[in-house]
Structure formats: C-alpha cells, structure tokens
Amino acid sequence: MKERKSDCRFSSLVLNQVLVTDLYDRIFHFFVFALLLALPFFLQNCAQVAQPPGGKKDTLAPKLVSSIPSARQLNYDGKFVELEFDEYVNSENLQQKITITPQDSNTYVVKSLPKGIRLNFNKPFLKNTTYTIDFADGIKDVTERNIAKNTKVVFSTGSVIDSLYLTGNVVDDESRLPLLSFVVGLFAPTDTLPINRKRPQYFARTDSNGNYRIENVKAGQYKVYGFDDKDLNLVNNTPGERVAFRDSVLNLNRNYTDVNLVAFRGYGKPRISRRERTDETLGLELSSGIASYKLRYGRPTSTSAVSTSAVSTTATSTSATSASATSTTVSGSSSGDSLVSFLENPKMIRLFRPANRAADDTIHVTIMAEDSVGNVTELRERIYFSPLKTRAKNRTGLTVQVSPPSGEPIDNNLEFTLTFNKPILRYNTNQIIIGPDSTKPFPLTRADLMWSNNFSRLVIARKTNLRDSVLFRLQKGSFISVQGDTLARYSAKYIIAEEDSYGLIAGRVSPATVGAAGNNFIIELLDDKYKVIRSVYGTPSYSFGRLKPGMYRVRLIIDSNGNRKRDIGNVQKGIQPERIVYAPGTEENGTIRVKQNFELTDIDF
C-alpha cells in the first residue's frame, strides 16, 4: 500500500515537470515568433538616414556629382534626365519647382533615388533644340534640409547649344515696387494675345528684386509678355491678375539687357457670381470690383451694348430737412419699374423690394457696371425676392460709420463722412448737431451736404472758427432708411488741432519731366498705404498744406490723353498704362515724413 502511494506521488511530480517544461517551451516559441515579426521594423529603422547624434551641424549643401545628360551635352537622344548628388537627398513639390524651357507638351514622372532625382519623360525631346531644366530649390539633403545649389541642366538634342539671353526688371504699376515670382515669357510673333491661351516658349520668374533672366534662347523674333501666375499653370487665365508687355516684337539676334516691364491690373469683365436673396433685399455679388453702376429697366429690345438715348437721373434733396432716395437709373422702359439700390461694397450691389411689389414679382433690369477707368459691362438680370418671410431677429438695423473717428484731432474746416449700411429715405438736419456744444449747433444747409452712392454716403463740410473742441451728434431718428428703421443716437467729440500742429509738402514739376504732355498731369498725395488723400491737376507749383504729422507719398501722373484721370493699360489693345513718377521721399521705403509745424518745399519732379 505504501509502495502504491509513493508511485502515485512520483507520477504526479513527473507530470508537473512535463507541464512546466511544456509551458516554458510555449512561452519561448511565442517570444521567438514575436521577435521574427518585429525584426523587419527594427531593420527598417536601422536603415533610415538621419543625422548622427552629436558633432557639428551639417551646413553644406548637396553637391551635384553627375547628370544624365551631362552639362551642355550635344545630340542627346534619351527620354530621361537624372541628377546624382554626394549625399542623400529628397524633394518636395518638385512638379511645381521645376522649370523646363522651351515649353512643349512632353509630360514626365518624378522618381526619387537615394542620392538623386530622375525625370522619366513620356515622349522623346524635340530635335535640334536646346533645353534648360532648372530644379530651383526643390532638392534638399535629408539631414538639415540644405538646398542643393546649381541644379540646372542644359543640353541639346542637336549639334549646338543656343546661348542667347535677355534680362530685365518688373515693377508694379501703382506702387513701382519690384514684383516677386512674376512670369516673363517669350511667345511666337504670330500669336495674338497668347497669355490667355497658351504657355510661353521660354520663361523665367522674377526674384525678390524684380529681376529676371531668360537663358539659352534660340535666335528669332518673340513677343514679350509678363503676368501673375498664382495657380502655377503658366497661363494668364485669372481675371484681375497683373499683366505686362513689351510694345514691339523683340528681334533676338543678340543678348538683350534692361528689357524692363511695368505690370498693371488687367481688365476683367465683372459677372454675377452669387445671389443673396431674402424677401426684402437681393444682393448681387460680382466677380470683380466696380466703381459705379446704373440700372436700365425692361427687357432688352436690341443687341446694342448701350442705349444712345440713355439719360442719368440722380435723386437730389429738395430741401434742407428731408430727401427721398431712389436708385440711379437710365431711361429706356415705359413699365414704370423702379428699385432702390446701392453699392454695398465694390463687389456687391444691394437691391431693395418695393413695398407695392410681391416678393415673387419679376423685374427685368440691365446693370451697366463701370470700373475705375471707365470700362462698362452690361449684366442682364431677372430681379425677384424670396417668398420666405425674414425673421425680425435676422433683419439688419440701420448703422453708420463716421470718419474721422471720435477723439481724433481735426481741422476747424470741418468735414465728416457718414457711411450707412443701407440707403436713406428721409433725414432731418435739425437733429444733426455740430457745434461747440449741444446748445449752440451750427445751422446746416444743402450746400453743406453732399450725398453719393444712392443716398448711402454723406459728406458734411462746414467751415468754422472753432479753436478748442467740437461736438458731433446724431439724434435718434435723424436718419430713416428705405426699410423704415431709424438710426440710433450717435455722439462724438473732437479736439480742434492747433495751427502749428500741421505740416506742408510742396514742390515744382519740370517741363522736361512731363514732356509733350505739357500741363496734362496729376499730382497726388497718398498715405503710406498708397491711398489717395488729395490731388491737383496741371499745377507746376503745387502745395499740400495742413497735413497731419505722419508718413506720405507724392506721385506725378502723366495724363497722356488729357482726360484728367489716370488710365491703366489695356493688353488687348496694346496700350501701356499712363506713366507714374514717385518722389524719392525722405525715408528708406520712399515715404515722406511730415512733422508738426514743418514745411518740405523741395519735393520736385
């Protein structure tokens, strides 16, 4: 019996040992299996190129070791271009960085190599053609992202390398400042306005100083155009982008320097891009800004662009105490239709539903939109309003912006500009208080008020002999909008500036500067943001007095056609913009610093 018990204990021990051994084997195999699964990951991390810890920072740019084709190689017949560097490199947005001239329809695929880049082209290169492929700053090392230098490959599929070049500078028409990344391109002389339809044969982009250089150009005749290229497609197909052009065809039989261009905003015809429709108003958003507009009612009766019998009828105040607002209209319809409207901003025309019209009634109008240089575009529109009732909480009340802002020192020859968010139907001058205090307001007459933008903008000008301060107050209900809402009370107080707190800018215009234009010129005073403050016409000895201390610019505009305004260019008609000359200024950025009680009388042209 005892032997049988001892055998059982022995068997039990053996069994436990076997189970423990089996458990250890399973755990071992599990770890081995897990290690095998993780091994590729560890090996991949070990293979990654990285800056070793410690030591000096890598500041050296990758060097180009070799290229296929080699530099300035002749008779190349391959379908790829390959660059090899002395260290590991990578590329970012290379398709947008690479410049290939001359341009053709041959597309390519970028392939990254450990120490280089390869471009695989879909078709053979053109025969007997010199190619320039510039990678710009698209290739960098993988450690410190140092940009590879001299990554330009020039080769020829023929027996010669074209070596002609042209250089120049591009400045903005308005500011005369250099333009960055402005495309200057060469087109065939037979192309008509090519920048809207096709890419240039040869091109370059300007640097931060506005300079460009087009190299390795084949001898021949070319038209020179420049344009903004915001979408990087080498085509000027965005309305309002700046353009530039050379007046005559360039006969490129030698190297040219100083082919300088002036870039101006191209004329883009506005179109209605969006409609904001409620039961009370209709907002027509335009694709480009305009300066003014007129409405012609009724369906068009002919294909004529503008009615020759159209007469403008602008609303005016018949008394000093009230006015009725109507939109600027043009005759040409006997329907009796009329709409109140105004230019809410340069890209938005806001129209208001007449009280006697149902929301879904349709009024046919033609909008004659005019830009700042007189180009007129006709836009035909069916005007109707939303049948859904606007909630009272969603209705915008009547508000006003007053300039100058409260507390600013002003001249005693008072001038206040009131800009309303909707046209005014009625106003009461007795509730407009301007004076030393509320008990002594100055009486206002029609001569003191100047309305514009269909009774949504009011300038109040009043000469006074005030010396200390002035109160400007609009009592509640002083203005009532076309929607019947009243203006809330507004009050502001201003300090009258001392006579010696102003400065002066004056100078002379030399006949040699103006040339054949004679006295057809404009002198404009601008602030440091290029906003026009004052101007004079045809005055050889000019003077801008009573200037607040600050930074200004002065420029001379040669009015070549004598129409008393500055005309931008027209690339379709081959007309350059009228010339602008800026005074050098007293500061590094070309501005003129005006101080209190200080006169600058030598700002000459």
pLDDT of residue 569: 85
**Mean pLDDT of the 30-35 span:** 58
In sequence order, the 6+-apart residues with CB closer than 8 A to the CB of 153 are 67, 69, 71, 81, 83, 131, 132, 133
Could you count the other beta carbons within 10 Å of the beta carbon of residue 576? 19
pLDDT at 302 over 60: no
pLDDT of residue 36: 58
| Rounded Cα gap, residues 499 and 411, in angstroms | 9
| Rounded Cα gap, residues 212 and 207, in angstroms | 7
Q: What is the DSSP secondary structure assignment for residue 441, as one 8-state letter?
A: P
Matching residue, tokens 């500067």 = 513
pLDDT of residue 402: 94
Q: What is the pLDDT of residues 101-141, one digit of tens each?
A: 898 888 899 998 989 999 999 999 999 999 999 888 889 98
Burial (CB < 10 A; 0-12, 13-18, 19+), residue 556, is buried
The b/e string for 262-277 (b: 16+ C-beta within 10 A; e otherwise) is: bbbbbbbebeeeeeeb
pLDDT at 389 over 70: yes
pLDDT at 481 over 50: yes
Reduced to 3 states (helix: H, G, I; strand: E, B; else coil), residue 308 is: coil
- Two tokens at 376? 């007129």
**Mean pLDDT of the 517-535 span:** 92
Between 390 and 450, whose confidence is greater? Answer: 450
| Rounded Cα gap, residues 67 and 115, in angstroms | 12
pLDDT of residue 54: 55
Q: What is the pLDDT of residues 150-207, one digit of tens each?
A: 788 999 999 999 999 999 999 999 888 999 999 999 999 987 766 777 889 999 999 9
Q: What is the pLDDT of residues 179-192, one digit of tens each?
A: 999 999 999 998 77
CA-based R_g, the chain, Å: 37
How far apart, in Å, are the Cα atoms of 567 and each of 336, 498, 510? 37, 39, 22
Q: What is the pLDDT of residues 255-293, one digit of tens each?
A: 999 999 999 987 778 899 999 999 899 999 998 888 899
Reduced to 3 states (helix: H, G, I; strand: E, B; else coil), residue 198 is: coil
**Mean pLDDT of the 515-529 span:** 92
Q: Which domains does the chain have, with CATH numbers?
A: 64-156 (2.60.40.1220), 165-265 (2.60.40.10), 275-301+308-315+325-388 (2.60.40), 396-497 (2.60.40.1220), 501-600 (2.60.40)
End-to-end Cα separation, the chain, in angstroms: 131
| Rounded Cα gap, residues 91 and 145, in angstroms | 10
pLDDT of residue 137: 84
**Mean pLDDT of the 46-53 span:** 51
pLDDT of residue 413: 86
The angle at the Cα of 102, spanning 97 to 103, to the nearest 5 degrees, equals 65
By mean pLDDT, which of 14-18, 476-480, 571-575 is the weakest?
A: 14-18
- Give residue 2's pLDDT band: very low, low, confident or very high (50, 70, 90): very low
Closest to 497 measured CA to CA, from 546, 436, 438: 546
**Mean pLDDT of the 89-95 span:** 83
By mean pLDDT, which of 54-58, 85-89, 257-261, 585-589 is the weakest?
A: 54-58
The average confidence (pLDDT) of the chain is 83
pLDDT at 298 over 50: yes
Closest to 245 measured CA to CA, from 263, 267, 265: 263
Burial (CB < 10 A; 0-12, 13-18, 19+), residue 386, is middle
Between 465 and 327, whose confidence is greater? Answer: 465
pLDDT of residue 90: 87
pLDDT at 314 over 50: no
* Helix, strand counts (H, E) of the chain: 3, 43
Between 270 and 232, whose confidence is greater? Answer: 270
- Give residue 230's pLDDT band: very low, low, confident or very high (50, 70, 90): confident
State which amino acid sits at residue 208: S
| Rounded Cα gap, residues 135 and 446, in angstroms | 67
pLDDT of residue 14: 44
Helix (H), strand (E) at residue 221: strand 220-227
Q: What is the pLDDT of residues 539-597, one digit of tens each?
A: 999 999 888 889 999 999 999 888 888 888 888 888 899 999 999 888 888 899 999 88
| Rounded Cα gap, residues 111 and 54, in angstroms | 32
Q: What is the pLDDT of residues 396-426, one digit of tens each?
A: 899 999 999 888 888 888 899 999 999 999 9
| Rounded Cα gap, residues 51 and 315, in angstroms | 75
| Rounded Cα gap, residues 213 and 259, in angstroms | 10
Reduced to 3 states (helix: H, G, I; strand: E, B; else coil), residue 189 is: coil
DSSP string covering 222-249: EEEEEE--TTSSSS--STT-EEEE-SS-
**Mean pLDDT of the 217-235 span:** 89
| Rounded Cα gap, residues 241 and 243, in angstroms | 7
Count of residues for the chain? 605
pLDDT of residue 32: 53
The angle at the Cα of 350, spanning 290 to 373, to the nearest 5 degrees, equals 10
pLDDT of residue 55: 60
